[in-house]
Structures are given as C-alpha cells and as structure tokens.
Chain A
Amino acid sequence: MAQINPEIDHLLRRAGFGVSSLDADIFRDMSTTDAVDYLVDYEGRPDDVDARIGRPDHVQIATNDLFAPDIDIEDARQRWLFRMIHTRRPLQEKMTLFWHNHFATGYTKLAIDSGTIQGAKLLAHKAGTLNGPQGQVELLRQYALGNFRNLLVEIAKDPAMVIWLDGKTNTKAKPQENFGREIIELFTVGVDNYVETDVYAAARVFTGWNLRGSDNYRQDEYGDLNAYQEFFYDADQHETTAKTFSFPIYSDGSKTIPGRSGSGSIQDGLDLITALALHPETARRLARKFWNFFVNEINVPDPKFVESVAAVYLQNATEIRPVIRYIFNSPWFNDPAVRFARYSWPAEYVVRSIREVGWQNFTVDKARGAMPAMGQQLYEPPNVAGWPQGANWFSTGQMLARTNFAATLAASQKPFLAVALAPESQSPQGLLAGMLNRVTPAPLDSAPQQALNSYLAAAGSWTGSGEQLNTRASGLARLLVGSAEYQLV
C-alpha cells in the first residue's frame, strides 16, 4: 500500500522520511527526475504544516494546558516531529535536520544563560510569532537549500550561536577561541586543514560580534515573552590589528586580513567567512557529509563523487540547491547497491515508523520522550560536533530504546492495524505480506522470514479472528519495526 517503486521509495527515504499512505497518490506516476524536482523545488508546495497541528486525522500533540512551541522546548520538539511527519516539503525538513547537526547547538547551555523561555525562543521561535529574531533552527529551515556562505554569516550572527560558543565574552583584551575554533574545525574546512594559529587569529577576527537585549530584556528574565536578544556589532571591542592565516583569505592569494577599526571592521569576519566558504576543503567536507547523509554510509565516499560535488558547489557560488539536485540525479545515488546503505538517525526512525505503522490517536510526544535513549534529542546535540552517526547510533541500549518504541507504537495502533489488514489476513502469510506492504525494512533473509512465520504459527490454528489479528498484527509490526533490517534506510 505504501510502496511506490524501488527508485521513488529510495528517494523518499533519503530526501524525506519514508513513504506514507498519502504519498502514493502524489508520486505514483512521476518519473524519478520529476520526483527529484518536486522535492528540491519545494517552494511550490504549501508551507501549511503548522496550521494542521491539532487536526484529528493527524498525529496528536500532548499538552499540559497551552501548546507553546516558540517558548517551551518540549513543545518545540513536538512541533518539529509533527512537521517531519506531515510536511508537504520533506526535503526542507531533512536539510534542516542536517544543518542542525552541522551547526549543532544545544538548548541546555542557552537556558542556563538566558532562562528556559529565552532558551527555547533562541532555537525555535518562528518568525513573527513574538518580537525578536527567529530561532536558530527556523533560520536553518529558511536556508535549508540556500547559500552556504550566507548561511555562515547568519549563523555567526545568530544569537543562539553567539551564546553557545561564548561570543558574548570575546573581547579585544581576551579573545575567546570557542567560535573561532569551531567555525574552522567543524563548520568549514575540518581538521588537518588548518593550524593552531589560525584559531587564535579567527578568535580575534570575531571580537566584537556580540548581542544586545531589547529594552525589556534582562538576563534570566522569565516573564516577558516579547523580550529578546539580537546581534550587535560592538566595534569598540574589536581587536584592530591585522590577522594572518595559513590559507588564502582573498582571491589574490593574500593570507592577511588588514588592520581595521570602526564600524567597518565587521568586514574582518565577513572576509574570513567568505574565504572559509570558498575553501576547497570546505567544498570537499560538505560533499563527504552529503555522501554519508544522502547516499551511502557503508562505503567511504567515492573520491570522484567528492570532487564532482565539490565542483558543483564552487561553480554555483556556494549555493546548496544545485548541489543537492545534482546528488539525487547522480549515478551514485541511483545505484541500486546503495539502497538501505545508511543507518537511520533516531529522528528518521521514529518519523518513518509513525508514517508507516500509523498515527491514529498517537501522540508525537511519545516519540519525543523515547528519542533521548536512542541517542538523539532534538535541539540538544551532545556537543558542537553534532551527533556521532552511522554505526555509532547503535549501542545495545540505543537499539533497545528503538525496539521498545516500536512496541509502544505498535500497541497504540493495534485496533487500526487489525482493521486495515483484515482483508488480507485469510492466512498468516497474507497478514505478513500485507504488513510488509506497509512497513518497509531492508530485504529479509530467509532466516528472519522463518522466525516471523514461526511467530505467526505460534498463534495456533488461524481463524483471522479480531483477537488473533489484534495480537499478531501488532506483534508483527513490533518485530518488523524493531528489526535490524528496519534500522537501515
């Protein structure tokens, strides 16, 4: 019921969060190239997902009293998961998740600095809901397929990032290295492509990149929801001497940012960001990350892929949209051998399983609550390097957290699964076939198929009664969604 064809199914697992029953009508008659354009040019799809929160035919939201996703981090997590499940722009959400890992910023430190309300607002405030700038993840959504250099500039000025990497205390007397280090090591060129003195110089470049509060803002202010912090360039705190790097800053090959003072000295940071964004190692690093996120985690990046994607990135002046379109249309992505060759992130896992098993009367808060034990809590990456990925998602405890979520989800959908699968359940084999048409693990070898058949045979003589279906359909869903095969996308 859910699957369309192997090419589109693969594309939707990678560019989105799997195939739900509602996707079939949209994609059934599309060519793969048209489907790529449909997903990549997502501005053509309505951005109406938030307005559908609360509809009875969608996944449910848990609220104590008021649902306040702009100022309450747990509500913000529910809103994001709701978006992933029901968005008409799955690739935009997928890229937002990618950037959230790339520019990994954690809520707890922000809340300690600015209070819980401001902390949530710094990450999740949707533009225009309250006074003040949009939250960091909203910014990432805006730039999901935008220009990387411009995104870096916005990130360097983003209040959550300024707090997260201690920009508020980066002064000319005592330059603070945290942001200067990570913009080089993690956001752009990566380790082995810079030297320690570059970090010290970068710290001086970003002196004065600070925040100021609105008139009604006070540190640890809980009361005024419309209070906010915004970017402020404090030229008086800028360290004005020249800064020299080990790599070219300017197109003429010059490695030195000239000494500058006054309001124009913000140009130091813009020059460094432009140089970092255009650095060939940044292009390669993004290409390798896209390989892992979209193409294949089982094999190391094909050097030809890395060079081709890096070239598309640089030829398009650091625009991401042409890069992603190129990847989805590339032979690497469309090689049947790379299907199911990625380890799903916990967010991908819970969203895909809800989309496939069903969401009737299910609250997305159960997914939110289960995710930390799987190793991923949205808005709370473990550190600025983001989440350890691939096989690192799968310790025994994390695997148990996934399979136990499968049990929770399957239990909630018992009666609905029983009704939906009843027509196909004249025999245990019919029930299994029907379930596999809905829930899509990587291909099952004969041994696990045999285990599933034995599980169904243990029900005794098959009558297809409501009770038998209630038990075995939910048990099957639990076994399939909790299987090793299902963790691969």
Chain B
Amino acid sequence: MALSRRLFIRNGVTTVAAGLVAPSFLSAVAQAQGVGGTRNLVVVYLAGGNDSLNTLVGYQDPAYYSRRPTIAVPAGQVLQVGTDSSGRALGLHPRLGGLLNIFKDGHLALVQRAGYNNSSRSHFEGGDIWGTANPQSFAGSGWLGRYLDTLPRPLDALAAWNTTGETPRALISALSGVPAIPNASTYTYASPNGGSAALQERAAAQAMASNPASNRPHLAFLNSTSLGAIQTLDRVALATSYKPTVVYPNDGFSGELKTVAGAIVKGIGTKVFWVSTGGYDTHSGQGGGGGGAYANLMGTLGDGLWAFYSDLRNQGLAPDTTVILYSEFSRRISENGSQGTDHGAAGLMMALGGMVRGGLYGTAPVLSPGHPTLENSSGDVHYETDFRSVYAKVLDGWLGVNSVSILNGDFRTGAPAIF
C-alpha cells in the first residue's frame, strides 16, 4: 500500500516539474484565477480513530452506560444539543464548550454514523479509504487532490496548504505537489553566508531545482519539491506576519489554525488547508467526562476551533470558510480492559463555518446488543450516511465543482443538507 503511494507520486512528478517551472509571479497567477478572498475549505483530521460515542453522547441510552462502565460521560455533564430526528437526546463532551458555542450560533453540523460498508479497522487502510474516497481501491490519488486537478493551470503553488510534515493521502494529486508547512515560522531559506553571496546562493539553488530532469523522474520529483519550497517562502512569511484578533490556546493544533487564519486573512488565495491533530488512538486511559486522555483531546479540539471561528468571524471572513472534521474510523462500543476502546467502525463527521447550516444530521445508534444500527456482533456502530455523500456536498455545495467526476460516482442522493 505504502509502496503504491510512492509510485503514484512518482508517476505524477514529470508533470509537476513542468507545471511549476513556468510562472515567476505566482501570486499574480492566484489572482488571475480569482482565488483570493473566495471560499476555502479547512480539513481537520482526527488521527488515530476518534471515539465518536464520547464526542456526541447519547446520554439517555442505558446500554451506553452499561457497556462503558468507566469511560462513559455522565448524563449530567454533557452539553445538551437537543434530539435528533429519531428522537435520541444528544450532548457534546463537556470539554467541547467551544463547539457548543458554534452550535448555538447555528453553524455546527453534526453528521452521525458516517462511514461505509465493511469498515476497515486498520489505521493505515482506513486512512487511505477516507483519503481516496474509495473503499475498494485506495492506493490512488486523494479526493482533494482530484479536486485540485480540476482547477485551471498553471496552478498556484499555494492552492493547497498542508500544515503537517507529510502529504496526506487526501491531498495526493496527479498534477500538483502540495506544499507541506509544518512550521510556518521556520519555513525560510538559510545560508552559511550573508549579503550578496546568500542571494546568489538562493538564486543558484533555484536554478538547480529548475532542472526538469525529465528522464530522471525521481530527481524531477525532488527538484519540483525544492522549487515549490523556494517559490512559496515569501508568501508563507506574509501569512505568519498576521496578528490575530483573539488569543489562541498555546498548543500545536491551535498554532496550525492560527497560521491558517493568517493565510486566509492575508488573502494568500489558498483553497484547501489540511490540519491534523493526533492522539485519538485511545486504547487505554481514555477517561470519561472529567480527566483522562480523551477529555484533553476534546479540550484541545473545542478550544482551538472556537478561537479560529471567532477570529474569522471578527474579520468578517467566517462566511468564506468551511471546516470539516473526520477520522479514519470510530471505536468499539464496549470499553476494553485498559479503560480504553479498540478500533471500530462508523462515526461522527462535523462541519462548521459561517455558511454551514448547523444541526443534528442522521440518527444516533442504539447501543443495546442486537439493534440494527450496530454491526460486528453488535460490537460496532453500523454506518447510516456514506462519508462520500458528505464529500459530495462539500464539493458541489461549497467548492462549486462536479462531485460525480471527482468521486467517480454519484453520492449526492441522501447527502446531509449542511449548506
């Protein structure tokens, strides 16, 4: 699987190199495409398999409490968000006060039981399936990479912006390399010398990286990566000069969101941002409503997103931005012997932003053994909403492209009406 990913990247590289060599003023390219100041998408990936049953709690389901004796969130602690269309009362984890604010604002959509048939319990396979949007063949390009491939050429080098170190499957594209900017403040060019020698050195590095090396595809790929870095340095520095309107929490996740806000406010023109936050593989010591690993995860998530949303709202840019959140799978219903949960199946997708129609979508699982909302001998939650229908809604309803060709199928029917 990993092998095919590398091969895939390689097969695309010659074109990447050719595509990146031409423009010298990429921000002008961005403007010509009309990408500045328009809609953007921020994907927040919850890495490790988010335990959706503790994110959005069916706090009146007795089986929830009997199957999770040490890690259930007490009914009195949940942040109530009302009942879904099946009449199940639901509440957010108590550390998600930030998300509750956005829900009350009418701009947080909670899509329950999103997934696909025969859900993979492997982190790596599951991540690739959500990335490619193809449960049968998940070694190819990503759903967002294929979106990027529909944009006019030459593509601005910052059309997509990945805040993690490695390129996620979802952003792998046949035509474009997406810059990875894990730390925008060190995304700079260093030289052993100063003054004109340093400038000459940078020019030489750019000239070396401009070698298309078309008969050496792996070298062409590396050159295109170098060139992509050199050509994006100055605009990334512009984004990091942003002074936010709110105080972001002091953690890595919020730091990434702050950088994304900077890029949006400074009008860099990026269409897709990728943010990842980890630690969701809670096999042990997960905790319930109060302490424990999961409460910390929820606090980081909710506080960070609230800061980001508030900041953009203050800037008048919340209507330009949609954030979607998902994970490779949810977790087993019953807790294990380590006060944690093992790998499960369908889970919660979320969307938020100034144009998102908030509310509860889909129906909650009923956790008593034998209930038709469950699978795997009632060990896991069965999916109700195909995750690709949410992608379809985002592509058609937000990014304004044709989801059928990007997803290689029509998933529009039954898509939750989040826009």
Contact = CB atoms under 8 A, between A and B. Distances in A.
A407 B218 CA distance: 24
Interface stretch (B55-63, B79-87, B190-198, B299-307): B190-198
Nearest to A482: B205
Given A166-B283, A458-B200, A297 B6 contact: yes
B179 A298 contact: no
A151 to B, nearest CB: 22
Interface string B43-55: 0000010000000
Contact of A397 (B48, B165, B343): B165
A343 B166 CA distance: 15
A178 B342 contact: yes
A456 to B, nearest CB: 9
A166 B213 contact: no
Which residue among B162, B228, B338 has the maximum number of chain A CB atoms within 10 Å of its CB?
B338
Contacts of A390: 2-3, 6
Q: Chain B contact residues (Cβ within 8 angstroms of A): what range? A: 35 or more
Interface stretch (B117-125, B145-153, B360-368): B117-125
A395 B162 contact: yes
B3 A292 contact: yes
A414 B226 CA distance: 24
A407 B192 contact: yes
A438 interface: no
Given A391-B221, A407-B191, A447-B210, 14 more contacts: A174-B337, A191-B122, A191-B124, A300-B3, A343-B218, A373-B186, A395-B166, A397-B182, A399-B225, A472-B197, A475-B197, A478-B191, A479-B205, A484-B226
Interface in A421-465: 442, 445, 447-448, 450-452, 454-455, 458-459
3 closest pairs, A vs B, by CB? A395-B180, A174-B337, A169-B338
Given A176-B338, A484-B222, A410 B192 contact: yes
Contact of B201 (A168, A191, A445, A475): A475
B197 A471 contact: yes
Given A176-B342, A392-B167, A475-B201, A485 B219 contact: yes
Of B166, B196, B209, B213, the most chain A CB neighbours within 10 A belong to B166
A314 interface: no
B32 to A, nearest CB: 22
B225 A408 contact: no
Interface string B224-249: 01101100100000000000000000
Chain A contact patch, size range = 35 or more
B181 interface: yes
B205 A400 contact: no
Contacts of A358: none
Nearest to B376: A196
Nearest to B125: A191
Interface string A370-404: 00010100000001010011111011111111011
Contacts of A288: 3
B187 interface: yes
Contact of B5 (A178, A392, A475): A392
A419 to B, nearest CB: 16
A482 B122 CA distance: 37
B181 A396 contact: yes
Interface in B268-294: 281, 283-284
Contacts of A445: 211, 213, 216
Contacts of B187: 397, 400
A66 interface: no
Contacts of A199: 121
Contact of A392 (B166, B213, B216, B340): B166
A411 interface: yes
A485 B210 CA distance: 13
Contacts of A399: 222, 225-226, 229
A173 B219 CA distance: 54
A319 interface: no
Interface string A191-209: 1000010010000000000
A488 B213 CA distance: 14
A475 B198 CA distance: 8
Contacts of A401: 186
A78 interface: no
A367 B216 CA distance: 29
A398 B180 contact: yes
Nearest to B338: A169
B284 A395 contact: no
Given A185-B122, A300-B3, A445-B213, A478 B229 contact: no
B404 interface: no
A375 B165 contact: yes
A399 B208 CA distance: 14
Interface string A277-304: 0000000000010001000011010000
23 contacts: A169-B336, A169-B339, A175-B337, A191-B1, A191-B122, A298-B218, A373-B165, A385-B124, A396-B226, A398-B165, A399-B222, A400-B186, A401-B186, A403-B189, A408-B192, A448-B207, A448-B211, A474-B193, A475-B191, A475-B193, A475-B200, A484-B226, A488-B219
B192 A474 contact: yes
A481 to B, nearest CB: 11
A177 interface: yes
Nearest to A384: B123
Nearest to A407: B190
A170 interface: yes
Interface of B: 1-3, 5-7, 9-10, 48, 121-125, 162, 165-167, 177-183, 186-193, 196-197, 200-201, 203-205, 207-211, 213, 216-219, 221-223, 225-226, 228-229, 232, 281, 283-284, 336-340, 342-343
The listed residue with most A CB atoms (<10 A of its CB), out of B180, B190, B197, B232, is B190
Contacts of B5: 388, 392
A398 B201 CA distance: 19
A353 interface: no
Given A297-B6, A445-B213, A455-B200, A383 B123 contact: yes
A487 B222 contact: yes
A53 interface: no
Which of B190, B193, B208, B340 has the most A CB atoms < 10 Å from its CB? Answer: B208
Contacts of A450: 207
Contacts of A482: 205
Contacts of B208: 447-448, 451-452, 479, 483-484
A177 B193 contact: no
A171 interface: yes
B102 to A, nearest CB: 30
A311 interface: no
Given A178-B283, A298-B10, A395 B201 contact: no
Contacts of B178: 395
A404 B180 contact: no
Contacts of A153: none
Contacts of B192: 407-408, 410-411, 414, 474-475, 477-478
Given A166-B338, A169-B336, A458-B200, A396 B189 contact: no
A341 interface: yes
A191 B138 CA distance: 13
A397 B223 contact: no
A451 B340 contact: no
A452 B337 CA distance: 62
Contact of A394 (B3, B225, B283, B337): B225
A166 B177 CA distance: 38
Nearest to A404: B190
B283 A176 contact: yes
B202 to A, nearest CB: 10
**Which interface residue of B48, B124, B210, B219 has the most chain A CB atoms within 10 A?**
B219
A176 B285 CA distance: 13
A483 B227 CA distance: 11
A292 B124 CA distance: 19
Contacts of B189: 400, 403-404
Nearest to A485: B219
Contacts of A396: 177, 179-181, 225-226, 228-229, 232
